[in-house]
Amino acid sequence: MANFSKASSNGASKQQDRVYLCFDLGGTALKVGVITFSASGEFSVEEIHNESHHMFANGPISTEDLQKLLTDHYNRLTLDGQRFDGIGVATFGSVNPTTKRIQNYMDGTPTYKDWSWSDAFLDVGFEGPVDVLNDGQAAALGVCREDGAPGTNVALVMGTGLGAGAAEVRGNQTTLIRGGTGNAGLFGNLLVSASFEGKLIANVRAGELLATGGIRKHYSPDSDSPEEALKQLVNDLGNSDERALAFYNDVLVQGTAVLLTNLHQGFDPQNVVFAGGITKALPDLASDALLAAMPLIGDQAKVVKNGSAYTTCIGQIVTVSVSNEINPNLLGMATAVHSMKLASTSRDSGVLAANAPRQTSSRTKQGLIPS
């Protein structure tokens, strides 16, 4: 792994390294990381802060408090001599890709529409590139960077919600597909349907059903939290509880199969990568959903390559895998701002920027379904 750059005598990071300060600001927690890309083609991620918070329990906080939450970390690190080539922020809500402003708060209200993270860090003296993404997109970009394959990738991060995004992997460069307003790839908004205990759960957003919140709502409403609901489901499955098995098969497997079908028919990905707490707790979910999706996709779709892909009669081959990336949001933001830095360097120097490096992993992807 690359070593972290120290500030040189002129206050800049070493020429061969790019060092980024990245934040993962969720509704209940804040993570801070320092990510280094080296000229040798490696990257390293160091998480330096991870703390739960309840600052949004009563709704949006002031822009002053929101700005201070992140810039305090920047100020502390720069006082210690650290210098950064860029800053990335994964945040709640939808984000305008041009202004870096949060277009909508978690409840959909335009609370921070006149305030941007770019201005916030400019106020404390940082003049480098700042990129801001929806946290689901950031997680998806990080997953694609770590475990994506050449071509068009989709990442589905199944946790408290359904973080999702799409990215193109070309050579050593991973680029987020942002769309016209920066909100492309939010596949958690796709509609899925399932049934449980004789009740039809029809046309609900995938992010509301295929997530720990959906497990709590439809399986274990008395649980203290969505995370506890997932633990309860896993425990019940371990005891071969019939109700748990029915929920797993009829809701999670079938709902995910419908989502895969929608992605296949409407987006045409070449690679789909699953990640997140649900896939860690339920390691067979991706493979079970893949099998269940084959008759829904049609076109003589069948699982191939020992369960790591499927193919159709028109020659499509789509790989499906599971990622164990630990800090996808931080890595995703570093990937995004690294691209910005390379682009700005290219414009300034008149030389084409080199492709962003990817980590060389020693892990070998395993097929989802045993042969």
In angstroms, the CA 98 to CA 48 distance is: 29
Determine the pLDDT at residue 1. 37
Strand bridging mode 162-170 / 151-158? antiparallel
As a whole number of angstroms, the distance between CA 358 and CA 142 comes to: 11
**pLDDT of 232:** 97
Count of CB atoms situated within 10 Å of the CB of 184: 16
Q: What is the pLDDT of residue 264?
A: 93
Query: Which domains are present in the chain?
Result: 17-138+326-349 (3.30.420.40), 146-322 (3.30.420.40)
The pLDDT assigned to 142 comes to: 92
Task: Specify the pLDDT at position 346.
Answer: 61
Structure tokens at 40: 């040798």
Tokens coding 88: 């990335």
CB atoms within 10 A of CB 282: 19
- Report the distance separating Cα 350 and Cα 136, nearest Å: 34
- For the stretch 142-173, pLDDT in tens is 999 888 889 999 999 998 889 899 999 987 78
Q: Tokens at residue 75, please?
A: 């100020």
Exposed/middle/buried for 161, CB within 10 Å: 0-12, 13-18, 19+? Answer: buried
Q: Name the one residue in this structure whose structure tokens are 């689901």.
A: 136
Below-70 pLDDT ranges, the chain: 1-15, 41, 103-111, 345-371
Angstrom CA distances, 132 to 25, 92, 121, 156, 265, stand at 11, 10, 12, 19, 30
Place of tokens 């164990």: 324
Q: How confident is the model at residue 103, as a pLDDT?
A: 67
